Structure 1
Amino acid sequence: MRIVYLALAIWGAIHPMVYFLRWFRENGFDLSGMVEAWHANAASSGLVWDLTIAAIALTLWIIAETAARRQWRNLIAIPATFCIGVSCGLPLYLFLRSGSQDGPIR
């Protein structure tokens, strides 16, 4: 499964970035315009909030498990989540976590 997590993290970094880069090419590097586009209608606003809540929950999980396991390198999944997206941060964290020799927390 470790390789699957890594593949999903890479895919989750590249695939969404293709769309973001296309948007920046068409509209310039306008972050406020991008955020405005994310809230263009109720469906896209709902998706933004869904991903925001998921990113916060993932961050709290990463912090809690990192503190318990003392696997500080796993914290890299937090900036990956907020700078790239949950589609990269979650599988990246699962990849890093699966490499731990500690096993599950009991």
Structure 2
Amino acid sequence: MTALRLVFLALAIWGTVHPMYYFVSWFRENGFDLAGMGAAWNVNAAASGLVWDLTIAAVTLTIWVLVDTIRRRSWLDLIAIPATFCIGVSCGLPLYLFLRLRHADSR
């Protein structure tokens, strides 16, 4: 495994654990209230801007994963889509790059 793949794997793990710490903390304080979390994400213009930034990045990543996966017929790479929407772009993007580079390692 290349050093670059290890970096992407480490970033995918960090991109899972670090945001989840805050999500779990929020749920502990407020209960499992997705509507409340959505309202918190739009508490002001700065927060709304970040939400839209990440939403657009997630949609862009999803389109890229779909097109690239179909072209290369590497179906395992599709796991990056639920990772992106269930965890976040901070997990989905480095996970996809980690998976995609496995083809370069096998050459």
Alignment TM-score > 0.5, same fold = yes
Displacement of 1:34: 0.1
1:21 aligns with 24
Contact conserved, 1:69 with 1:102, CA < 8 A, in 2?
Answer: no
CA deviation vs aligned residue, 1:35-55 (integer Å, no higher than 9, x gap): 000000000000000000000
1:47 paired with 2:44, answer no
Displacement of 1:100: 1.3
One-letter amino acid of the structure 2 residue matched with residue 71 of structure 1: S
One-letter amino acid of the structure 2 residue matched with residue 93 of structure 1: Y
Alignment RMSD (CA, Å):
1.3
Displacement of 1:80: 0.0
Structure 1 vs Structure 2: percent identity of aligned residues?
70
**Residue-pair matches, total:** 103
1:57 aligns with 60
One-letter amino acid of the structure 1 residue matched with residue 34 of structure 2: L
One-letter amino acid of the structure 1 residue matched with residue 93 of structure 2: L
Aligned match for 2:75, one of 66, 72, 77: 72
Unaligned runs of 5+ in 2: none
What TM-score does the superposition give when structure 2 sets the normalisation length?
0.94
Take 1:101 and 1:3, find their aligned partners in 2: how far apart are those partners? 13
Take 2:68 and 2:44, find their aligned partners in 1: how far apart are those partners? 36
What TM-score does the superposition give when structure 1 sets the normalisation length?
0.95
Higher helix fraction (1 or 2): 2
Moved over 3 A (4+): none
2:96 aligns with 93
Unaligned runs of 5+ in 1: none
